[in-house]
Amino acid sequence: MITRSLIPRGAAAVVLALAVGVSATPANAATPRPTNLRQVVESLSGPDGAPGALAQIHDRHGRLTATSGVADIRTNTPVNPRSRFRIGSLTKPFVATVVLQLVGEGRVELDAPVERYLPGVVRGADNDGRQITVRQLLQHTSGLPDVLDHMSPLEVLKDPLRHWEARELVDIALPHQREFEPGKGWSYSSTNYLLAGMIIESATGHPFGEEIRRRVIRPLALHDTFVPTDAPGIPGPHPRGYVRPQSDLVDITRLNPTVAGAGGGMISSASDLNRFLAAVLQGRLLRPAQVREMLTARPTGRTSGSKYGLGLEWTPVENSSICKDGFWGHDGDMLGFSVRAGATTHGRQATVMVNLNPGGGPALDSAMRAALPHALCGT
For the stretch 76-116, pLDDT in tens is 999 999 999 999 999 999 999 999 999 999 999 999 999 99
Q: What residues does 341 pair with on adjacent strands?
A: 15, 351
Q: In this predicted structure, what is the pLDDT of residue 10? A: 43
* Residue 89 among the catalytic residues: yes
Contacts 24+ apart (CB under 8 A), 158-163: 160/232, 160/252, 160/254, 160/255, 160/256, 160/335, 161/232, 161/254, 161/255, 161/256, 162/256, 162/259, 163/230, 163/256, 163/258
Strands annotated E in the chain: 12-15, 19-26, 52-59, 62-69, 84-86, 123-124, 127-128, 242-243, 250-251, 267-269, 298-299, 307-308, 313-315, 327-334, 337-344, 348-354
**If you average pLDDT over residues 150-177, what whole number do you get?**
94
pLDDT of 258 reads: 98
Q: pLDDT at position 35, please?
A: 59
Residues 7/344, Cβ–Cβ less than 8 Å: no
Q: What CA–CA distance (Å, rounded) separates 371 from 379?
A: 9
Nearest C-alpha neighbor of 65 from the set 74, 56, 73: 56
Instruction: Say how far residue 345 (Cα) sits from the centre of its chain.
Output: 18
Q: How far is 196 from 181, CA to CA, in rounded Å?
A: 19
**191, containing H or E segment:** helix 190-204
pLDDT band at 338 (very low <50, low <70, confident <90, very high): very high
- Residue bearing the bigger pLDDT, 48 or 10: 48
pTM of the model: 0.92
Catalytic residue among 43, 45, 89, 269: 89
Report which of residues 165 and 10 the model is more confident about: 165
Q: How many helices (H) and strands (E) does the chain have?
A: 11, 16
CA distance 4 to 295: 6
Q: How confident is the model at residue 125 (pLDDT cuts 50, 70, 90)?
A: low
Answer with the residue of higher pLDDT: 35 or 137. Answer: 137
Q: Of the candidates 52, 16, 23, 12, which has an alpha carbon nearest to the alpha carbon of residue 351?
A: 16
* Percent of the chain whose predicted confidence (pLDDT) is above 90: 81
Which whole number is the average pLDDT over 190-201?
A: 98
The total of other beta-carbon atoms located within 10 Å of residue 5's CB is 9
Q: Taking all residues of the chain, what is their mean pLDDT, rounded to a whole number?
A: 90
Confidence (pLDDT) at 104 = 98
Going along 198-308, which residue ranges are E strands? 242-243, 250-251, 267-269, 298-299, 307-308
Is residue 145 pLDDT above 90, yes or no? yes
pLDDT digits (tens, 9 = 90+) for 207-265: 999 999 999 999 999 999 999 999 999 999 999 999 999 889 999 999 999 999 999 99
Whether the predicted pLDDT of 188 surpasses 90: yes
pLDDT at 15: 45
pLDDT value at position 5? 29
- Rounded CA-CA distance 207/253 in Å is 24
Residue 85 in contact with residue 267, Cβ under 8 Å?
Answer: yes
Domains of the chain listed by start with CATH number: 12-377 (3.40.710.10)
Region 173-188: what's the mean pLDDT?
Answer: 95
Residue 154 pLDDT class (50, 70, 90 cuts):
confident
Cα 63 from Cα 54, distance rounded (Å): 13
Alpha-carbon distance of 126 to 144, in angstroms, equals 9
pLDDT of residue 36: 79
274, 351 contact by CB (below 8 A): yes
Q: Cβ distance 95 to 311 under 8 Å?
A: yes
Task: State residue 4's pLDDT score.
Answer: 27
Question: How far apart (Å, rounded) are the C-alpha atoms in residues 14 and 372?
Answer: 8
Q: Which residues contact 359 (CB under 8 A, 6 or more apart)?
A: 243, 244, 245
| CA neighbor of 172 nearest in space, from 193, 146, 192, 197 | 146
Q: In the prediction, which pLDDT does 127 show?
A: 73
